[in-house]
Structure 1
Amino acid sequence: MASRGIVVDGLTKRFGSVTAVDDLGFEVAAGRVTGFLGPNGSGKTTTLRMLLGLVEPTAGTATFDGTRYVDLPRPAQHVGSALEASSFHPGRTGLGHLRTLAPQVGVDDARCHEVLELVGLSEAAGRRVLGYSMGMRQRLGLATALLGDPDVIVLDEPANGLDPQGIVWLRALLRGFAERGRTVLVSSHVLAEVQSTVDDVVIIAGGRLVHASSLAGLEDLAERLVVVRSPTPERVEAEAARHGWSVSTDGASTLVRGATGPQVGSALFSAGVELHQLTDRSVELEEVFLRLTSPEPAPGQGAAMGEVA
Structure 2
Amino acid sequence: MEAPGLAVEGIGKTFGAVRAVDDLTFAVRPGAVTGFLGPNGSGKTTTLRMLLGLTRPSQGRALVGDRPYVDRPVPASVVGAALEASSFHPGRTGLAHLEVYAAQTGASRSRCRDLIEFVGLAPAAARRVGGYSMGMRQRLGLATAMLGDPPAIVLDEPANGLDPEGIVWMRGLLRGFAAEGRTVLVSSHVLGEVQHTVDDVVVIAHGRLVHASSLAELRALAVPETYVESPSPDALSAMCRDRGWVPRSDGAGVLVPGAPAAEVGAAAYAAGIELHQLASREPGLEDVFLRLTGGAT
Place the TM-score, normalised by the shorter chain, in its bin: 0.7 to 0.9
Q: Is the 8 A contact 1:203 1:211 kept in 2?
A: yes
Q: For 2:85, give the aligned amino acid.
A: A
CA distance in structure 2 between the partners assigned to 1:113 and 1:217 by the alignment: 41
- Deviation, 1:49, is 0.5
Give the structure 1 partner of residue 145 of structure 2: 145
- Deviation, 1:101, is 1.0
CA distance in structure 2 between the partners assigned to 1:150 and 1:142 by the alignment: 12
**In the alignment, does 2:91 pair up with 1:75?**
no
The unaligned stretches of length 5 or more in structure 1 are 228-243, 256-280, 297-306
Cα separation, partners in 2 of 1:283 and 1:295, compared to 1, 3 Å? closer
Q: Is the 8 A contact 1:219 1:283 kept in 2?
A: no
- Deviation, 1:4, is 3.3
Q: Normalization by structure 2: what TM-score?
A: 0.82
CA distance in structure 2 between the partners assigned to 1:35 and 1:295 by the alignment: 18
Give the structure 2 partner of residue 28 of structure 1: 28
Q: Is the 8 A contact 2:223 2:282 kept in 1?
A: no
Aligned positions of 1:205-224 closer than 5 A: 205-224=205-224
Give the structure 2 partner of residue 66 of structure 1: 66
Give the structure 2 partner of residue 174 of structure 1: 174
Q: Is the 8 A contact 2:226 2:278 kept in 1?
A: no
CA distance in structure 1 between the partners assigned to 2:86 and 2:94 by the alignment: 12
Cα separation, partners in 2 of 1:179 and 1:128, compared to 1, 3 Å? same
Kindly provide the CA deviation profile for residues 242-283 of structure 1, in whole angstroms up to 9, marking residues without a partner as x.
xx974324868674xxxxxxxxxxxxxxxxxxxxxxxxx655
Aligned-residue RMSD, C-alpha: 2.0
Q: For 1:67, give the aligned amino acid.
A: R
Partner residue of 2:264 out of 227, 238, 248: 248
Give the structure 1 partner of residue 41 of structure 2: 41
Identity rate of aligned residues, in percent?
65
Q: How many pairs does the alignment contain?
A: 256
Q: For 1:71, give the aligned amino acid.
A: D
Deviates more, 1:158-167 or 1:119-128: 119-128
Q: Is the 8 A contact 1:21 1:208 kept in 2?
A: yes
CA distance in structure 2 between the partners assigned to 1:209 and 1:162 by the alignment: 28
Runs of 4+ in 1 over 3 A off after TM superposition: 224-227, 249-255
Q: Is the 8 A contact 1:7 1:66 kept in 2?
A: no
Kindly provide the CA deviation profile for residues 3-23 of structure 1, in whole angstroms up to 9, marking residues without a partner as x.
131111000101122111000
Give the structure 2 partner of residue 5 of structure 1: 5
Q: For 2:92, give the aligned amino acid.
A: R
Task: Give 3-state SS (helix, strand or coil) of 2:210's partner.
Answer: strand
Give the structure 2 partner of residue 292 of structure 1: 292
Q: For 1:177, give the aligned amino acid.
A: F
Q: Is the 8 A contact 1:19 1:207 kept in 2?
A: yes
Deviates more, 1:153-162 or 1:113-122: 113-122
CA distance in structure 2 between the partners assigned to 1:254 and 1:114 by the alignment: 54
Q: Is the 8 A contact 2:4 2:152 kept in 1?
A: no
Q: Is the 8 A contact 2:9 2:25 kept in 1?
A: yes
Task: Give 3-state SS (helix, strand or coil) of 1:289's partner.
Answer: helix
Cα separation, partners in 2 of 1:282 and 1:183, compared to 1, 3 Å? farther
CA distance in structure 2 between the partners assigned to 1:210 and 1:25 by the alignment: 11
CA distance in structure 2 between the partners assigned to 1:295 and 1:22 by the alignment: 19
Cα separation, partners in 2 of 1:182 and 1:251, compared to 1, 3 Å? farther
Give the structure 1 partner of residue 120 of structure 2: 120
Q: For 1:216, give the aligned amino acid.
A: A
Give the structure 1 partner of residue 133 of structure 2: 133
CA distance in structure 2 between the partners assigned to 1:16 and 1:252 by the alignment: 52
Q: Is the 8 A contact 2:21 2:46 kept in 1?
A: yes
CA distance in structure 2 between the partners assigned to 1:163 and 1:248 by the alignment: 43
Cα separation, partners in 2 of 1:23 and 1:91, compared to 1, 3 Å? same
Q: Is the 8 A contact 1:25 1:209 kept in 2?
A: yes
CA distance in structure 2 between the partners assigned to 1:254 and 1:45 by the alignment: 40
Kindly provide the CA deviation profile for residues 47-103 of structure 1, in whole angstroms up to 9, marking residues without a partner as x.
011011010000101111111011011111000000110110000000000111111
- Deviation, 1:36, is 0.3
Q: Normalization by structure 1: what TM-score?
A: 0.79
Task: Give 3-state SS (helix, strand or coil) of 2:160's partner.
Answer: coil
Give the structure 2 partner of residue 188 of structure 1: 188
